[in-house]
């Protein structure tokens, strides 16, 4: 049984655009995972921001959203994404809460799954509270409705006015361009049922997607300048900083 997933990615250490581009490529390359669409890259201020006493001095984040299909369970997907974070330089033992991150990946949604465990909560418990998550996510799931019935557009409207999130670039505009796919059967994988939050067509071979064909493997991309300190957590917990 395959499920649709939605991820939020953020980075603000080293060349964040290069990191995000390579990370999308690496996610699509995971066994049992197919990326079907990628949002534009948005520049967002760190959260929490001054004058909040929890604020950590750091650069703006670049954020994007990824949707796709996976045959992995939510916890298996989480484990694979945490390995990717580590490969790109994230060190959970050294990072500062709400501080900089070389790469942060949040599991936002997996099908209609509702989960509440120590390691992973689905839907992400703060998905409706963060414009830097909702703005890119709505780009790839514009008619999205959460399992509880709340529309993503309604959640974003409740956060208005949104004045500090700017579209930085679309990955097809990055030199090197798009992630090429081998020829294969089109249409959703066997057993796939599209969840209500996802109104995009999901296919095994959707053709070129908004992604970048980066010539970098995960080990090479892990060479990111700076320490692994704070951003949105792949464990579904917002304790880390891309928030």
Exactly one of 28, 37, 43, 104 is catalytic; which is it? 104
Exactly one of 28, 37, 106, 233 is catalytic; which is it? 106
Res 99: pLDDT: 65
Q: Tell me the per-residue pLDDT of 115-158, one tens digit each, with 9 for 90 and over.
A: 899 899 999 988 988 899 999 999 999 888 888 888 999 999 99
Exactly one of 37, 43, 101, 233 is catalytic; which is it? 101
Residue 61 in any domain: the answer is: yes
Q: Which residue positions in the chain have pLDDT lower than 70? A: 48, 98-99, 172-243
* Domain around 203: 3-221
90 catalytically annotated: yes
The SS3 assignment for 136 reads helix
Exactly one of 28, 37, 43, 90 is catalytic; which is it? 90
Residue 239 in any domain: the answer is: no
Residue 242 in any domain: the answer is: no
Residue 230 in any domain: the answer is: no
Res 174: pLDDT: 60
Residue 156 in any domain: the answer is: yes
Q: What is the CATH number of the domain that holds 95?
A: 3.30.70.560
Residue 203 in any domain: the answer is: yes
Res 210: pLDDT: 31
233 catalytically annotated: no
Residue 232 in any domain: the answer is: no
What's the DSSP call for residue 188?
P
Residue 115 in any domain: the answer is: yes
Residue whose C-alpha is closest to residue 169's, from 83, 40, 49, 54: 40
91 catalytically annotated: no
The SS3 assignment for 173 reads helix
Res 195: pLDDT: 53
Query: What is the value of pTM for the model shown?
Result: 0.72
Question: Tokens standing for 140?
Answer: 């790839």
Total domains in the chain come to 1
Asked if 223 contacts 34 with a C-beta cutoff of 8 angstroms, the reply is: no
106 catalytically annotated: yes
Res 66: pLDDT: 94
Written as one string, the DSSP assignment of 47-98 is SS-TTSTT----PPEEEEEEEEEESS-HHHHHHHHHHHHHHTT--TTTPPTT
Res 143: pLDDT: 86
């Amino acid at each position: 049984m395959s499920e649709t997933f939605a991820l939020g990615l953020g980075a603000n250490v080293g060349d964040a655009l290069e990191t995000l581009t390579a990370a999308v490529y690496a996610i699509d390359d995971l066994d049992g995972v197919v990326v079907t669409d990628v949002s534009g890259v948005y520049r967002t201020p760190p959260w929490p921001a001054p004058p909040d006493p929890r604020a950590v001095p750091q650069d703006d984040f670049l954020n994007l959203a990824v949707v796709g299909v996976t045959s992995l369970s939510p916890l298996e997907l989480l484990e694979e994404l945490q390995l990717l974070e580590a490969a790109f330089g994230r060190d959970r033992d050294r990072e500062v809460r709400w501080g900089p991150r070389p790469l942060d990946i949040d599991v936002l949604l997996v099908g209609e799954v509702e989960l509440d465990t120590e390691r992973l909560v689905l839907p992400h418990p703060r998905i409706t509270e963060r414009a830097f998550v909702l703005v890119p996510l709505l780009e790839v799931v514009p008619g999205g409705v959460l399992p509880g019935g709340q529309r993503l557009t309604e959640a974003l409207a409740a956060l208005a006015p949104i004045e500090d999130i700017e579209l930085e670039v679309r990955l097809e505009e990055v030199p090197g361009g798009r992630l090429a796919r081998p020829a294969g059967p089109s249409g959703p994988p066997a057993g796939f049922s599209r969840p209500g939050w996802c109104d995009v067509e999901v296919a095994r071979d959707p053709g070129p997607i908004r992604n970048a064909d980066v010539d970098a493997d995960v080990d090479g991309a892990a060479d990111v300048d700076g320490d692994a300190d704070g951003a949105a957590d792949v464990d579904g917990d917002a304790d880390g900083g891309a928030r």
